[in-house]
Amino acid sequence: MYFVDRSVAVIKPKAPFLDWLNKVPDNDMVDLSLEALRSDCTVILLPEFNEPEEGVAYIDEIYEQLFKMELASWYEDDALWPTDLSLKAFWEWFDVEIHSTVIDSVDDDLTNSPALQ
């Protein structure tokens, strides 16, 4: 096992995200719950930080990309997305957990895939 020189953020949808999903036309996810949405969340690597506040500040810098990535993971058609993609809306729609320790338990090299836009 190896320490990785990164921190990590877990992006957890909140009720407004579920409300949006439920209002999308032709939504067939009638049994989707907030608990289910929050059980398997996006995790992103961040630069290594000493204080959680530094991680939050970094999230503030990249929030728009994260917001769009989360919306696109459900619906690629941005015409279906909410119109307010502000920083304030991001924090209303998502909880973010910042964790400072990342350990790689796999001996293989990491592979990169194309970045999400």
Segments making up each domain of the chain, as ranges: 2-95
pLDDT digit string (tens) for 7-26? 999 999 999 999 999 988 88
pLDDT at 29 over 70: yes
- Contact 18/39 with Cβ under 8 angstroms? no
Q: Which pTM value belongs to this model?
A: 0.86
**Segments of the chain assigned E as strands:** 2-4, 6-13, 42-47, 94-99, 102-104
Distance CA 16, CA 103 (A): 32
